[in-house]
Structure 1
Amino acid sequence: MIEIRFHGRGGQGAVTSAELTALAAIEQGKYAQAFPSFGPERRGAPVMAYVRVSDEPIRTREKIYEPDIVVVLDPTLLGIVNVAAGLKEDGVVVLNTTKSAEEIRERSGITAKLALVDASRIAMETMGIPITNTTLLGAMLKATDLLPLSALEGPLQERFGRIAVKNIQASQRAYQETVVKE
């Protein structure tokens, strides 16, 4: 089973990212569950969302404390939240950033595999808004062998209808532009 934790701020789409990942996995014949973790926070407050993907039925319903993959939608969270807390030894952190791997490691102490992409720029150029959730799904899929990139197309079309094409393009660009550093 692969466990994923998304970190974002309210309104950035972390919960939607988790749901889209689960839907894409289900369309690929896998079992999946997605769920948010937030309280009475308001827009802009840190939130987390979780996904489990497995070839077997998933029985557990607890929060994910030791993820295989962490996806960080908002780079300002690095100074506020320990996004790598509990990350498995062979885990990966997918990060929306303009910084180099060396800068990220120095500032955050993250020693895990990094997948870095300027998702904010890609989202602005492709969709005209700085919402990075679907963009970062492309980066996550480049850094892992979780699912093929094409698995996102159906869920994106279902969720976003006529504007799905821009979300698909943004995820494809992120897939191409993501830099993975061990």
Structure 2
Amino acid sequence: MRELRIHGRGGQGSVTAAELIATAAFRSKVYSQAFPAFGVERRGAPVQAFVRFDDNKIRLRSQVYEPDYIIVQDSTLIKDVDVFSGLKSGGIALINTEKDIDAEVPEGVRLIKIDATSIALEILGLPIANTTLMGAFAAATGEIELEALEEALKERFPGALGEKNIMAAKKAFELIKGEAE
């Protein structure tokens, strides 16, 4: 089983991102599970969402404490929350930032930085980077297929909004794929 933990702030779409990644994984013929962890938080407060992937049915129903992957939607969280907590060696940390990371990244973790907010502003006209980061996640991990992500985005965001979200995800996917080659 592989696990993802998404760190964001209320209103940034962390829960939506987890749901759509799980939907895309399922469409990619993988069992998946998505769920949030929040209580009385409000817009701007730190939130977490989780996704599990497996070739077999998933029966585990706890939070993710030792993820294989993390997505950090807001790099200012790194100062407030131990986003790298439990991240496995060999794991991937995908951070939405154009700046250097001022934190100790665990040994053996691949750090990928992407300015997803700029891509979202350019394509969507809003600083909501969750779908952009989903495209980057697909490219960095291979856990979800880009075509399956596109289908999930079309279903969730019909019409022009869906097309813009797909464009943002594809741009991030190509950017990360290009860096890997």
Structure 2 counterpart of 1:95: 95
Structure 1 counterpart of 2:103: 108
How does 1:1-182 map onto structure 2 within 5 Å?
A: 1-99=1-99, 103-104=100-101, 107-111=102-106, 112-162=109-159, 163-178=161-176
- Offset of 1:177 from its aligned partner? 2.1
CA contact (8 A) 1:143 1:180 kept: no
CA contact (8 A) 2:32 2:54 kept: yes
CA contact (8 A) 2:31 2:57 kept: yes
- Offset of 1:116 from its aligned partner? 1.2
User: Unaligned stretches of 5+ in structure 1?
Assistant: none
SS at match of 1:176: helix
Under a length normalisation based on structure 1, what TM-score does the superposition of the two structures give?
Answer: 0.93
User: Unaligned stretches of 5+ in structure 2?
Assistant: none
- Offset of 1:122 from its aligned partner? 0.1
User: RMSD over aligned Cα, in angstroms?
Assistant: 1.3
* 2-structure distance, mates of 1:145, 1:176: 13
Among the aligned pairs, what percent are the same residue? 49
CA contact (8 A) 2:24 2:145 kept: no
